[in-house]
């Protein structure tokens, strides 16, 4: 881990790192993301717990008293017993192989008693910070109450960094602030993909609607060398170019907007890769009859559900000619085979290039992660972000309050 990594986006941002901190005996308030999926009171996927382990273990081994701050669900500033974080303490303790104390409140005497009872290297989890209205309001008094139990602040929850809340932004102004190891890795990966990438850079943006990704598209066409557009949103661009998209999902009212993005890309020297052939069917269902159509062959009752083989081949060749890839969104209805073929072939090709060291491949967003897992290649990508909204806002070029607050 470098002493002080310098991370770029649109401007210079420098962050202190944990290896520069004097941690022995210090109370380290650590914002983590423990908003885990639960069924019947049991965690069904502990990925988010595991993501926090390196930071927690590092702090503990350095002799810090580790105090974890997290939210769960949306209690909207009220105490909702079924949204308590108490159920996380035991599984986290097993993963860490050490006890995890639990405090029944995030502030006040209940929190102070648990924190004061910690030995150096000990770990405590405080109750859901969203039980207090001051959390989401980024209330200064609530942030101060949180800070009363800490000497240093560590944000290891990139997935919550797009929210200016007390535990993600307010605290960083009150205590010496550091990114956690998971946060640092995410920032470095995003910087390598979009902030200060090795060129040529190719992007893949898919999904159903252009309307949900206007900011993303406008930002990327100004920064990338190539941008492939897939999924339902590609239909809007094809329609804007004068192609008949049959009965496909298409935001026809955004045709002018699509044309503006096409013009902006051309002016910026960003090559747009739109489908040149498509896979169609009459309905979305497994095992239905499908056909590959050229763009001038789409019938009135056709649903375009995937990019065609020639389009996929062209995308793979573009990856071969690139050094960096950033990916958000599938190329088709990958959840319903055989409309997953373009997404899977692109994912496997990108993963193979990344594994061989020929491509820096960074991906993120819920559907994207699911698609890469479906293709069985997530582990071979350079980095796969599970941050969702924060990842998307970073790609859109927006300032993330929880990241900006950590700037040294």
Q: Could you report the per-residue pLDDT of 306-352, keeping only the tens digit for each?
A: 999 999 999 999 999 999 999 999 999 999 999 999 999 999 999 99
Identify whether residues 217 and 359 lie together within a single domain: yes
Identify whether residues 137 and 210 lie together within a single domain: no
- Annotated active-site residue 355? The verdict is no
Q: Is the peptide bond before 200 cis (omega within 30 degrees of 0)?
A: yes
Identify whether residues 45 and 170 lie together within a single domain: yes
How far apart CA 216 and CA 347 sit, in angstroms, is: 21
Give the DSSP letter string of 37-99: -EETTEES--HHHHHHHHHHHHHHHTT-EEEEE---S--TTS--GGG-SHHHHHHHHHHHTS-
- CATH number of the domain to which 280 belongs: 3.40.50.1260
Question: Does residue 382 form part of some domain?
Answer: no
pLDDT-derived band of residue 9, with 50, 70 and 90 as boundaries? very low
Q: pLDDT for 202-241, tens place per residue? A: 999 999 999 999 999 999 999 999 999 999 999 999 999 9
* Active-site residue identified among 209, 282, 293, 348: 209
This prediction has a pTM of 0.90
Identify whether residues 28 and 110 lie together within a single domain: yes
Question: Does residue 29 form part of some domain?
Answer: yes
* Active-site residue identified among 9, 27, 48, 226: 48
Range of the domain at 51: 6-185
How far apart CA 256 and CA 241 sit, in angstroms, is: 10
pLDDT-derived band of residue 7, with 50, 70 and 90 as boundaries? very low
- Annotated active-site residue 366? The verdict is yes
Identify whether residues 177 and 273 lie together within a single domain: no
Res 12 pLDDT > 60: no
- Annotated active-site residue 329? The verdict is no
Identify whether residues 292 and 241 lie together within a single domain: yes
Number of domains in the chain: 2
How far apart CA 328 and CA 166 sit, in angstroms, is: 29
Q: Between 13 and 282, name the one with better pLDDT.
A: 282
Question: Does residue 393 form part of some domain?
Answer: no
How far apart CA 358 and CA 109 sit, in angstroms, is: 55
State both tokens at 346: 């692109």
How far apart CA 140 and CA 131 sit, in angstroms, is: 16
Question: Does residue 82 form part of some domain?
Answer: yes
CA 117 to chain centre: 36
3-class DSSP state for residue 137? coil
Question: Does residue 337 form part of some domain?
Answer: yes
- 268 to 119, 219, 261: CA distances (angstroms): 57, 11, 10
- Annotated active-site residue 170? The verdict is no
Would you mind telling me the total number of residues written for the chain in this entry?
Answer: 408
* Active-site residue identified among 108, 366, 388, 397: 366
Q: pLDDT for 254-291, tens place per residue? A: 999 999 999 999 999 999 999 999 999 999 999 899 99
Res 3 pLDDT > 60: no
Res 8 pLDDT > 70: no
* Active-site residue identified among 121, 388, 389, 397: 389
Tell me the HSE value of 105 on the side-chain side, using a 13 A CA sphere. Answer: 14
């Amino acid at each position: 881990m470098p002493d002080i990594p310098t991370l770029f986006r649109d401007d210079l941002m420098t962050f202190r790192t944990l290896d520069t901190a004097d941690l022995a005996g210090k109370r380290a308030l650590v914002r983590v993301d423990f908003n885990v999926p639960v069924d019947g009171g049991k965690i069904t996927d502990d990925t988010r717990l595991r993501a926090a382990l390196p930071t927690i273990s590092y702090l503990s081994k350095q002799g810090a008293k580790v105090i974890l701050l997290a939210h769960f669900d949306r209690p909207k500033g009220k105490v909702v017993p079924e949204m308590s974080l108490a159920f996380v303490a035991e599984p986290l303790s097993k993963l860490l192989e050490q006890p995890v104390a639990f405090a029944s409140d995030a502030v006040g005497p209940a929190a102070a008693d648990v924190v004061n009872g910690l030995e150096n290297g000990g770990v405590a989890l405080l109750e859901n910070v969203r039980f207090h209205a001051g959390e989401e309001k980024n209330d200064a008094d609530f942030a101060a109450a949180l800070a009363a139990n800490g000497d240093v602040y560590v944000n290891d929850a990139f997935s919550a960094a797009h929210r200016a809340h007390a535990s993600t932004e307010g605290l960083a102004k009150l205590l010496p602030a550091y990114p956690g190891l998971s946060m640092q890795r995410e920032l470095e990966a995003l910087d390598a993909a979009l902030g200060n990438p090795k060129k040529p850079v190719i992007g893949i943006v898919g999904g159903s609607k252009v309307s949900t990704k206007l900011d993303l598209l406008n930002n990327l066409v100004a920064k990338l060398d190539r941008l492939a557009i897939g999924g339902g949103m590609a239909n809007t661009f094809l329609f804007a170019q004068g192609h008949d998209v049959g009965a496909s999902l298409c935001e026809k009212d955004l045709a002018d907007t699509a044309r503006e993005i096409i013009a902006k890309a051309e002016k910026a020297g960003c090559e747009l890769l739109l489908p040149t052939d498509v896979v169609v069917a009459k309905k979305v269902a497994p095992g239905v009859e499908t056909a590959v159509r050229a763009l001038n062959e789409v019938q009135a009752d056709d649903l375009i559900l995937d990019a065609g083989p020639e389009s996929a081949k062209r995308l793979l060749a573009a990856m071969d000619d690139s050094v960096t890839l950033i990916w958000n969104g599938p190329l088709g209805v990958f959840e319903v085979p055989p409309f997953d073929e373009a997404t899977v072939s692109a994912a496997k090709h990108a993963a193979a290039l990344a594994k061989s060291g020929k491509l820096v491949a960074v991906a993120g967003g819920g559907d994207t992660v699911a698609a890469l897992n479906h293709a069985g290649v997530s582990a071979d990508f350079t980095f796969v972000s599970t941050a969702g909204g924060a990842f998307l806002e970073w790609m859109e070029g927006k300032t993330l309050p929880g990241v900006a607050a950590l700037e040294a």
